[in-house]
C-alpha cells in the first residue's frame, strides 16, 4: 500500500507563513503526497511551487463554518480554480442540515459542484461529523451521493472533534462504492491512519504527513 498517495498534507492555520507553506510543499514533493491542502490565499503560491510536481493543490471553501451563501461558496471555488486549485474541500451548510432544510443543503453543494465539474476539479464535501447525529451524517451523505460528488469528508479539524473510525464506516456504508471518503482531523500516528483506511477512507487529511510516513517505515507488513 502506497500510504503517501492517501495523504492530503495540510496546513490551514490562520497564522501560517509563506515559509511554512514552502516547507509543506517541499515535503509533499519529497514524499509524493496526493496533495497539499491550504487556505485559498496560498493557492497561487503553492501552484507555482508544485508546477512540475505530481502533487495536487487542494483548498477549502466555506471554511470552517459552512455558513456562507451558496453563491459565495461557488465564487470562492471559481477563483481558487482559476488560481491553480485542482481539488476543492467545501463545508456544507450545517445549520440547514440540522434544520432539515435538505433542498437548501442540496443547492449549496450543487452550486460548488457545478463550478468544479465544469473545470475538471475534484470536490470533497465536508459534513463536520462531530456536530451531527448519525441520522444527520447519513442524510448528508445521501445528498452528496445523489449529486455524485467525488468525496465526502468527515471534518474541518476546527470544530469539537475530528475523524473517527465509526464515522468513516458509517459514511462509507451510506455512499457505497461510487463516492470516496476522506478522513480528516486527529490523524497523528500510523495506527490511526491504518484504522481509517481499513474503515473505508481513501484520503487522509493530516498535518502530520511526514510523521505518518516515518511511522510507516518502522511498521512491518505495511
Percent composition of the chain: helix, strand, coil (DSSP 3-state, to 5): 50, 20, 35
Size of the chain, expressed as the number of residues it contains:
222
Active site (annotated) includes residue 178: no
How is 43-89 classified by DSSP, letter by letter?
HHHHHHHTTTSS-EEEEEESTTT--S-HHHHHHHHHHHHHTT-SEEE
Which conformational region is residue 157 in: left (phi greater than 0), alpha (psi within -120 to 50 degrees), or beta? left
Active-site residue, selected from the candidate residues 124, 153, 167, 172: 153
Q: What's the rounded Cα separation, in Å, for the pair 4 and 212?
A: 9
Q: Contact at 8 Å (CB) between 113 and 127?
A: no
Identified catalytic residue from 89, 108, 150, 167: 89
Place of cell 500516528: 189
Q: Are 9 and 35 in contact (CB under 8 A)?
A: yes
Tell me how far apart the alpha carbons of residues 102 and 143 are, in angstroms, rounded to a whole number. 8
Query: 8 and 205 in contact (C-beta within 8 Å)?
Result: yes
Burial-class residue 84 by CB neighbours within 10 Å (0-12, 13-18, 19+). middle
Active site residues: 89, 153, 182
Amino acid at each position: 500500500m502506497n500510504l503517501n498517495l492517501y495523504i492530503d498534507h495540510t496546513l490551514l492555520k490562520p497564522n501560517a507563513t509563506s515559509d511554512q507553506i514552502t516547507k509543506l510543499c517541499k515535503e509533499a514533493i519529497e514524499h509524493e503526497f496526493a496533495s497539499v491542502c491550504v487556505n485559498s490565499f496560498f493557492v497561487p503560491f503553492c501552484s507555482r511551487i508544485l508546477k512540475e510536481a505530481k502533487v495536487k493543490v487542494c483548498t477549502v471553501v466555506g471554511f470552517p463554518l459552512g455558513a456562507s451563501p451558496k453563491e459565495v461558496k461557488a465564487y470562492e471555488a471559481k477563483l481558487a480554480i482559476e488560481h491553480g486549485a485542482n481539488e476543492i474541500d467545501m463545508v456544507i451548510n450545517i445549520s440547514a442540515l440540522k434544520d432539515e432544510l435538505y433542498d437548501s443543503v442540496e443547492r449549496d453543494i450543487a452550486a460548488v459542484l457545478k463550478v468544479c465539474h465544469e473545470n475538471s476539479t475534484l470536490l470533497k464535501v465536508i459534513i463536520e461529523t462531530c456536530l451531527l447525529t448519525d441520522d444527520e451524517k447519513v442524510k448528508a451523505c445521501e445528498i452528496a451521493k445523489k449529486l455524485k460528488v467525488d468525496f465526502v469528508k468527515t471534518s474541518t479539524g476546527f470544530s469539537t472533534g475530528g475523524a473517527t473510525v465509526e464515522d468513516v464506516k458509517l459514511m462509507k456504508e451510506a455512499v457505497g462504492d461510487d463516492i470516496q471518503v476522506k478522513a480528516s482531523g486527529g490523524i497523528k500516528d500510523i495506527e490511526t491512519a491504518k484504522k481509517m483506511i481499513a474503515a473505508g477512507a481513501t484520503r487522509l487529511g493530516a498535518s502530520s504527513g511526514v510523521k505518518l510516513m516515518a511511522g510507516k517505515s518502522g511498521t512491518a507488513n505495511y
